Structure 1
């Protein structure tokens, strides 16, 4: 029976004191019996947690009581076992490292496309302006190998810091098209879309990433499974662990 609630969430928001916040959040999480990882940086928060449903949701509610995290949204899935070994809270320079200080999502998000609209675009073969739609996978190559959208562009990057150089090398292939950047849960594709737009490319981010797409419309146009960074290894379009 799937009795362990798993959540993933992130939010780009200004945090002036990430080092000071670190022990506070760890104490709260441990007190509720949660396990997983929370990343904190001046640019925001990224978390992957699992535990009892009541305790986990109460932790999130308490986090949202802080005005900085009021708009945090979570993606939920279930597993029969705890997929994490311990509770870690880390202070990082970036919650997702890109090494591009000018890319600051907290100052303004890139435009997004919701899962239902993307599915419709893929089925009709164009966006609502009649333009070609290019799905751009911003994940690392080993993640893509587990599953991806059919026909998506994959630059075989090994780490996200390589993404800007890949954009420079392939920019001309994307200009004049509607580019939808996607990733696991939204965090990479949010930064990716901003960088693409800085380079003159008409880019949107997939709202909620692959997990949000699975949750809202299932696995249409997606081949395989979605890699996740815990002991579940991957989830299918029903958000069920596949090992």
Structure 2
């Protein structure tokens, strides 16, 4: 029986007063017995949290009372046990590290496509203008090995900071194509899409909400395998069910699982 609600969310929005926000978020999550990770930066917020359903929803209601987070969109999934061992609330230079400070999604997003549009394009093999469509995996190589879109471009990067150089090395391969960048929940493919547009790739979109939102809407269509997640579930399938039943594992097995 699935009892723990897992949420993933991010928002690129200019933030100030980070130390005070860090304390408030930590207190709000701790008081509701939530675990996971919250990253804060001047460019926005990125969070992965898990806990009881009522506690999660109460936390989100509290967070959205801050008008900066009123429109925060959340991806949800369930597990039989808590997939995180502790709560971390950190201040970072970036909520997803790219080492390109000029890329600021809060100043303007790249165009996006929703899951239904991407599936329709992949069904047809082209976009609405008749241009060939390719999907571009912006995740790390070990994540792509667990599962990815069929025939997706995978440059075998080991960390996201390698993406800009990989794009510059392969840019000509994307000429004449519509490129849809994707990642787990949308944050990496959003930065990647902006970088590609600024690097001169003409027809670039980001997959809105990433693989997790795609699974919610379209299931496994055009996707092989599972979606890697950075917690003890290890991966979720197209029904957003965890690959690993955490509740059935011993403490020693859980430690082995999270190490991968």
- Which category of TM-score, normalised to the shorter sequence, fits these structures? over 0.9
Q: Give the corresponding residue for 1:233.
A: 234
- Normalising by structure 1, we get a TM-score of 0.99
| Alignment: residue pair count | 243
Q: Give the corresponding residue for 1:146.
A: 146
- Counterpart secondary structure, 2:33: coil
Q: Give the corresponding residue for 1:205.
A: 206
CA drift at 1:19: 2.2
Partners of 2:214 and 2:15 in 1: CA distance: 29
Partners of 1:54 and 1:187 in 2: CA distance: 26
CA drift at 1:35: 0.6
Deviation string for 1:4-55 (max 9, x for gaps)? 1000000001111222211110011000111111000000000000001111
Superposed CA RMSD in Å reads 0.6
Query: 5 Å matches for 1:1-243?
Result: 1-201=1-201, 202-243=203-244
Partners of 1:41 and 1:175 in 2: CA distance: 34
Partners of 1:152 and 1:199 in 2: CA distance: 20
CA drift at 1:62: 1.0
- Normalising by structure 2, we get a TM-score of 0.92
Partners of 1:18 and 1:220 in 2: CA distance: 40
Is contact 1:137–1:153 with CA below 8 Å preserved after alignment? yes
Is contact 1:175–1:200 with CA below 8 Å preserved after alignment? no
Deviation string for 1:127-175 (max 9, x for gaps)? 0000010100000000000000000000000110000000100011112
Partners of 1:242 and 1:219 in 2: CA distance: 15
Partners of 2:61 and 2:175 in 1: CA distance: 42
Partners of 2:24 and 2:6 in 1: CA distance: 21
Partners of 1:71 and 1:125 in 2: CA distance: 33
Deviation string for 1:61-109 (max 9, x for gaps)? 1111111111100000000100011111010000000011111000111
Partners of 2:96 and 2:176 in 1: CA distance: 28
Partners of 1:204 and 1:226 in 2: CA distance: 20
Partners of 1:12 and 1:64 in 2: CA distance: 15
Task: Extract unaligned runs of 5+ from structure 2.
Answer: 245-260
Partners of 1:233 and 1:30 in 2: CA distance: 24
Partners of 1:18 and 1:98 in 2: CA distance: 20
Partners of 1:69 and 1:107 in 2: CA distance: 16
CA drift at 1:199: 1.0
- Counterpart secondary structure, 1:145: helix
Partners of 1:168 and 1:76 in 2: CA distance: 35
Task: Extract unaligned runs of 5+ from structure 1.
Answer: none
Structure 1 runs (4+) greater than 4 angstroms displaced: none
